[in-house]
Structures are given as structure tokens and as C-alpha cells.
Amino acid sequence: MKGLLSSILFLFICANTFAQDSLVYKSIAQEFIKLLVEKQYDQASLLFDFKSSQKYNPVYLKKTWLGIQSQTGEFLIASEFNSKKNADGNSVLITCEFQFITLNIKTSFDKQNKISLIEFLPAKTLSSSISDYNPPPYVKKRRIKEEEIYFKTDVFLIPGVYTRPKCKRKTPLVILVHDFGPLDRDATLGSNKIFMDLALGLASKGIAVIRYDKRSFVYAARMIERYGENITIMEETISDVISAVNLAKTLKRVDSEKIYVLGHGIGGMVSPRIASMKQDLAGIIIMAGNARPLEDMLLEQSRYLSEISVSQGGLTDAEKIQLYQLEDQIMAVKNPNLNSNTPASELPMNLSSSYWIDMNNYNQISAAKNASIPMLFLQGQRDFQVTLTDFSIWKKELEELEQVSFKLYAELNHMFIEGSGMSVPKEYLIKGNVPGYVITDISKWLKNRKLDDKH
């Protein structure tokens, strides 16, 4: 009995010690995040051990923290602090919610309660396997097979899924290209997974699909470390699409002469550019791709949302300041004197001057005119992010080309999910699916390279 009591007392003391240590580590982690948010990078650097502080110096912390937000949107809140102890020591996993994504920041500690390492990790998202997915009626599970795939771009190994019909013949393949922001392979937003809808819907109709986690979703911090201020749409999106196309050509059940790119939002905008770099593509599909410059879209969206706020009681002072700041930042993008020395803080979304200079040098209309491949443009009439103005520009500039088709859907928003009335961001969180008629239209076009503008 005495031995048992001693063992219980020992376990109690150990548990109590860990609990006390856990509070200490959580407190330091909370202070670290607080200092980053308050831009006190000098003080944040003092929380590291001497050796680590050489790397995690104030300049590095500022560059990393602001660089992360250029990919994730603004920091909103640190919602959870979870302490862990293992063979490597103690750590705290901080769940941070940003404008576009939730990230885990892992802070590891040495024996002196100093931070020795920080890691930015994607938070766990809902599983993208078929078994955990509540599919719409057009998905025929028995006709589909999914395989995990990986491809490498630069030093980054990109994980994804190859969805194919269960058949022995070679099939066309579509590669899905994300909209702006760090998105997973399903383009998950709230409960909606429009890329999963597209992949499973098209595979049910005999068309293979590749979708993958966006590089900024998996490697946001490593991208900042590798490229610094030099990240452009090439590193964010295009290079990985090209790698995916190269992988697709090696898949034995894929018809290598029928590989297509389908881009949503900014992914649609850059699809003609991708086609100019991979001239063996069979065609491109542009879903809600902007025909106008990206900065013009941002300003239009902000003014649209401001009008809604006014109708609901007026803009707050903070909202007015944000709108004025955005207007100034857009003027900076359009300034002929924009150069590599222009700080990201003076530009929209805290994106670097390299990003905006690259965008300024790209004209998606000209690229589309020179593509000489079949193109399909799909647009939701309720879309407030990429509007009918853009759809009309595409039609006006390209409709005389023989291989171009256009389709407008009256009830769809930017996510290609049905709704009614004025579209607002909160409707993106209402569960829905890409309608079956969109899947059917894409399938018909892929088979015939032509689509009537009727629904």
C-alpha cells in the first residue's frame, strides 16, 4: 500500500508540475502573438533563446509575420492555445484565425522557457475523402476512384487528389486552379467544397480531374523564407499548375492530348497565361475570371460592401479609413513609378511590389486572344466579386473567335452556388453545391468544344 501511495503521489506531483509548466508556456505563447500583432518585433525576438534569436531577429519576424498575412489575409484572433510535451520537449500549438484561413503556429521551448523554434502549419480541415462527403445527386460514387498524388515544384512537394472514372479507356483530364488566397484542394469555404463538387461531378461523367492543396495553404511560411518579397502569381499559382500538367501527362489512363485547365476567380484570370506557357493544353475553362485588373476588382468589391453597410446603418469610422487606405494603395499600384522599393504596406492586401509589378505586366485579354485554343467562360449573374462587367468585356473582345463559348447563370454567386437577391459574403457559409447543370455544361463542352449560351 505504501508503494502504491508513493506512486500515486509521484504521478500527482508530475501532473501538477506539467500543468504549472503548461501555464507558463501558454503565457509566453500568448505574449509572443500579442507582440507580433502590436508590431513589437524587438520585444518578440527577446522571447527566443540566444541561438534562435539570431535567426528570429526583429527583421525576420516582421518579414515573416507580414508575409504570412499577404497570403492568409489579416490576423483576426488566436482562438486556442494547446500545450504538449513529448520527447523533444514542450510546445504550444496556437490556433490563429486569419481573414482567409486558420493556421496553427507551433512554438517550441527549451529548458529555460525560451522559444527555440516556430512553425506555421495548416490547421486540420474537414476530410476530403469521398466517405466523409455528403454528395449531391449527380455524384455517382460507384463510378469514381480517387488516388492521392504528389508533384514537386521547386523545393515544394504539393499534395493532391487524382479523381478518375472507373474505366479502362483513356479519358480527358481537367486541372482545377484556385481563386485568391490559401485554399485547400477542395477550395473549402465554410461547409462548401466547390472543387470537390467539380471533381466528383465530372468524374461521374467520365472526365478525370486533378485538384491539390495550394502551395500557400501548405507552405505559407516556407514560401516567405524562400522567396521573401519576390513572390508573384508564378510562385503562388502558375508554377504548380504547370507541374500538375506535367504529372497528368504521365498518368496512363489520361489522354495526354485532352488536358484542360479550369481556373476559378484569379485562377481563371491567369489561365490564358498558363496556356501561353503550356501550349499543348487542349483548352481552358474560366469560371468567374476577371477581365479587368485585380486592383480594380478589389476596389469595386469594397465599394459594393460599403454600400451594403450604409444600407444597414452606415459605415463605421474604421471601415471608412480602410476604404480610403485601399483607394490610396490602388493609386500606388497604378503609379508608373511603382518599383521594388515600394513597401508592401503601401499596396493592396499587403502584397509585395513584385507581385503587383508582375500583375501590371500581364494582360489577360491579350493572352486569351493569342491562345488559339478552345475556351469556355462561365459566369454567375449574382457574383459581386467578378461581375457582369467582366463577362461582357470577355464577350466583346473574344466572341468573334471560333473556339470560344460563353455561359451566364442567373442564380449563381461567385462560388457558383445558387441564391437569390443581392449576394453578400455571409452566404458563402451557407451549405450548398455547384448545381448539376454546371457540371453538365462543362462536360458537354469538354466533349464537343462547343456550348450554346442557353440554360
On whether the CB atoms of residues 30 and 78 are closer than 8 A, the answer is yes
**Cβ-count burial 366-379 (b if 16+ within 10 Å, e if not):** ebbeebebbbbbbb
Mean pLDDT of 333-338: 96
pLDDT digits (tens, 9 = 90+) for 160-197: 999 999 998 999 999 999 999 888 999 988 789 999 99
Determine contact, residues 268/246, Cβ cutoff 8 Å.
no
Half-sphere exposure of 330 (CA within 13 A, CB side): 16
Q: CA-to-CA distance for 119 and 131, rounded, in angstroms? A: 31
Which range in 100-114, 300-314, 331-345 is most confidently predicted, on average pLDDT? 331-345
CB of 168 closer than 8 Å to CB of 174: no
Cell numbers for 21, please give them: 509548466
Question: 191-207 burial by CB neighbour count: b if 16+ within 10 A, else e?
Answer: ebbbbbbbbbbbbbbbb
d(CA 203, CA 207): 5
195: its cell numbers: 472543387
Question: Which domains, and CATH codes, for the chain?
Answer: 17-122 (3.10.450.590), 130-448 (3.40.50.1820)
The percent of residues in the chain predicted with pLDDT above 70, rounded, is 90
Average pLDDT over residues 126-146: 74
Q: How confident is the model at residue 277 (pLDDT cuts 50, 70, 90)?
A: very high
Query: What is the H or E stretch that residue 162 is in?
Result: strand 156-165
pLDDT band at 9 (very low <50, low <70, confident <90, very high): very low
* Burial 280-311, CB ≥16 within 10 A → b, else e: ebbbbbbbbbbbbbbbbbbbbbbebbbeeeee
Distances (CA, A) of 32 to 40, 241, 409: 9, 36, 48
pLDDT top residue among 34 and 450: 34
Q: How do residues 364-418 score in pLDDT, each as one tens digit?
A: 999 999 999 999 999 999 999 999 999 999 999 998 898 999 999 999 999 999 9
User: Please, where are the H alpha helices in 84-173?
Assistant: none
The 3-state DSSP class for residue 212 equals strand
Distance CA 60, CA 188 (A): 31
Q: Which long-range contacts (CB under 8 A, 24 or more apart) does 255-261 make?
A: 255/170, 255/171, 255/172, 255/173, 257/282, 258/171, 258/172, 258/173, 258/282, 258/446, 259/172, 259/173, 259/175, 260/172, 260/173, 260/174, 260/175, 260/284, 260/285, 260/446, 261/174, 261/175, 261/177, 261/285
Residue 87: predicted pLDDT: 64
Give the lowest-confidence range in 81-85, 124-128, 343-347, 445-449: 124-128
Residue 390: its pLDDT value, please? 98
Give the Cα separation of 77 and 68 in Å (integer).
Answer: 15
Strand partners, 15: none
Taking the C-alpha atoms of residue 391 and residue 287, their distance in angstroms, rounded to an integer, is: 10
Phi (first) and psi of residue 287, to 5 degrees: -100, 110
User: In angstroms, rounded to a whole number, what is the distance separating the alpha carbons of residues 180 and 100?
Assistant: 9
